[in-house]
Amino acid sequence: MILVTGGTGLVGSYLLYELTRRGHKVKALLRPGKKPYETRKLLSCLSAENEHLSDLVEWVEGDVLDPFSLQQAMQGVDYVYHCAALISFNPRDLGKMIEVNIDGTANVVNACLDNGIKKLCHVSSIASLGQAEKGEIINENTKWKTSRLNSGYAVSKYGGEREVWRGIEEGLDAVIVNPSVIIGAACHPKATNSLFHSIKNFIPFYTTGINGYVDVRDVVQAMVLLMESDISGERFVLNSENLSLREFFGKTAVILGKPYPRVAVNGTLMALIAWLEETRSRVTRSRPLITRENVRAAMSKSSYSAEKFRSAFGFTFTPISGSLTEAFRILGSMKK
């Protein structure tokens, strides 16, 4: 039996599809009061010929912040995939991110140790690798450096990863994956509409930033391969391509039949707009549309290498153009 945390998220949803498609018995943790309707809808879109797959998931009520519920959920479980996390670039969410991404991961690790779980796969992030020196390609050996440039999300994911390393030292078999920006069809209507809206309105604009991108299907396949292997106590960067934001938007523009991005956005101007937006949000007690952490992420130039995973498994990552095409196909199906 397998337990998946974060089963209603992007990675978790695709992982549920992959595991059930392979015939595994799966439990998925579901926070109290939540319904997995959108996840079931996505599973149906992904498995048009196997619509019964969503019925193979046993949803169990629980929360990574509730140690008792984790103990209950892990009864009869052999393997755990920890996908649950909070992602935000809003400084006001830092406390909650620390709680979910660090304390929640500590609870999962402790429950795995208490219940004799055979192996844990923890979904971390390239954000936990920190900042590289200028021109350096970031990989599994890049050392974390404390810096004001690290986002709150990066700090929380780095802290969560430390809890997994602590569990490994205490005897837990575990692997860590560090995916770059994950491309895939989100489950929730709000996320879907937001994606279409953002691309429609901002595709003419671009910043000078560079980042890594990877297909969500590659991420879950990598996770399963690692869990089925004898590998333990290691981390793996998962990344298909390093692209400038202009290149990324350009690939999207081709798919949507829109003009190639042509307007470069000044970082100083963006930072000023973000500061004004953060100020407005504090006054109105609403969420900011853009923050200075968003701006730093959009302007940073970071490249990543997944050579370690490629070499270990002879793995070929999906080109990002194909990832975007498939994501929009699924999103279109979910809107019907």
Q: Is the residue at 194 inside a domain?
A: no
Residue 243: how many CA atoms within 13 Å on its side-chain side? 20
Measured distance CA(28)–CA(281) in Å, rounded: 35
Q: Is the residue at 257 inside a domain?
A: no
Q: Which residue, chain included where needed, has tokens 């003419």?
A: 204
Phi first, then psi, for residue 75 (nearest 5°) are: -65, 125
Q: What local confidence, expressed as pLDDT, does residue 287 receive?
A: 73
Q: What local confidence, expressed as pLDDT, does residue 193 receive?
A: 44
The neighbouring-strand residues paired with 236 are: 177
How many domains in the chain? 1
Q: Is the residue at 227 inside a domain?
A: yes
Distances in Å between the Cα of 111 and the Cα atoms of 82, 157, 190 are: 12, 19, 33
Residue 243 tokens, joined: 């692209």
Residue 202 tokens, joined: 């901002």
Measured distance CA(226)–CA(249) in Å, rounded: 32
Q: What local confidence, expressed as pLDDT, does residue 192 receive?
A: 44
Per-residue pLDDT for the chain (336 aa), expressed as one digit of tens each? 999 999 888 899 899 989 988 888 899 998 887 777 677 777 777 766 555 766 788 999 999 999 999 999 999 999 999 999 998 888 788 899 999 999 999 999 999 999 999 999 999 999 899 777 777 899 999 888 887 778 888 999 999 999 999 999 999 999 999 999 999 876 554 444 454 455 555 556 667 788 899 999 999 999 999 999 999 999 999 999 999 888 888 888 888 777 777 776 766 766 676 767 777 777 777 776 667 666 666 667 789 999 999 999 999 999 999 998 888 877 766 665
Q: Which residue, chain included where needed, has tokens 């692209």?
A: 243
Q: Could you please report the per-residue DSSP string of 141-165?
A: TPPP---TTS-HHHHHHHHHHHHHH
Q: Is the residue at 191 inside a domain?
A: no
From 213, 236, 220, 222, select the one nearest 83 (Cα to Cα). Answer: 220
Give the domain CATH number at 57. 3.40.50.720
Q: Is the residue at 264 inside a domain?
A: no
Q: Is the residue at 116 inside a domain?
A: yes
Q: What local confidence, expressed as pLDDT, does residue 222 receive?
A: 97
- Domain limits for position 169: 2-183+212-240+304-318
By the 8 A CB rule, do 104 and 142 touch? no
Q: Is the residue at 151 inside a domain?
A: yes
Q: Is the residue at 332 inside a domain?
A: no
10 Å Cβ neighbour count for 143? 8
Measured distance CA(190)–CA(162) in Å, rounded: 32
From 174, 172, 17, 165, select the one nearest 81 (Cα to Cα). Answer: 174
Provide the H-helix boundaries in 57-205. 67-73, 94-97, 104-114, 152-169, 189-202
Which helix (H) or strand (E) is 3 found in, with range?
A: strand 2-5
* Burial class, 61, CB count within 10 angstroms (exposed 0-12 / middle 13-18 / buried 19+): middle
